[in-house]
Amino acid sequence: MALTLTKTPFHGHRKGPVVVVVMDGYGLGADYPGNAINAARKPVLDELFKTCPWTRLAAHGTAVGMPSDADMGNSEVGHNALGAGRVFSQGAKLVADAIASGKLFAGKGWGEVVANALAKQSTLHFIGLFSDGNVHSHLDHLKAMIVEANKRGVKKVAVHALLDGRDVGETSALDYTEPFEAWIAGVNPDYGIASGGGRMFITMDRYDADWSMVERGWATHVLAQGKRFPSASAAVKGLRAEKPGVIDQDLPAFVVERGGKPFAPIVTGDSVVYFNFRGDRSVEMSKAFVGEVPFKREKPDVCFAGMMTYDGDTNLPPRILVEPPTIDRVMGQYLADSGVAQLACSETQKYGHVTYFWNGNRSGYLNEKMERYVEIPSDRVSFDERPWMKAAEVTDAMIAELKTGRFGFARCNYPNGDMVGHTGVFNAARMGVEAVDMCLGRLLPVIKSLGGIALITADHGNADEMYEMDKKGGVKMENGRPKAKTAHTLNPVPFIIYDPAFAGEYSLGTAVAKPGLANVAATALDLMGWRAPEGYEPSLLTWK
Residues annotated catalytic, as ranges? 75
424: left (phi over 0), alpha (psi -120 to 50) or beta: left
**Which of 23, 34, 27, 80 is closest to 443 using CA atoms?**
23
**Which of 326, 261, 284, 359 is closest to 89 using CA atoms?**
326
> What stretch of H or E contains 233?
helix 232-242
**Which of 372, 367, 368 is closest to 337 using CA atoms?**
367
Q: Cα–Cα distances in Å, from 316 out to 199, 288, 376?
A: 21, 11, 25
Q: Are the C-beta atoms of residues 37 and 417 closer than 8 Å to each other? A: yes
φ and ψ at residue 484, rounded to 5 degrees: -65, 145
d(CA 369, CA 264): 50
Q: Over the range 158-169, which residues count as b (16 or more CB within 10 Å of their CB) and which as e?
A: bbbbbbbbbbbb
Q: Could you tell me where the beta strands, DSSP code E, fall in 427-480?
A: 453-457, 477-478
d(CA 493, CA 78): 11
- Cβ contacts of residue 474 below 8 Å, gap of 6+? 32, 33
Q: Cα–Cα distances in Å, from 70 out to 86, 278, 371?
A: 20, 18, 37
Per DSSP, the residues of 153-204 read T-SEEEEEEEE-SSSS-TT-HHHHHHHHHHHHHHH-TT-EEEEEEETTTTT-
In this structure, how many other beta carbons lie within 10 angstroms of the beta carbon of residue 391? 25
| Beta partners for residue 414, in sequence order | 23
- DSSP symbol at 321: S
| Beta partners for residue 497, in sequence order | 455
**Of all residues in the chain, what percent are helix, strand and coil, respectively (each to 5)?**
35, 20, 45
The amino acid present at 325, given as its one-letter code, is P
d(CA 528, CA 8): 9
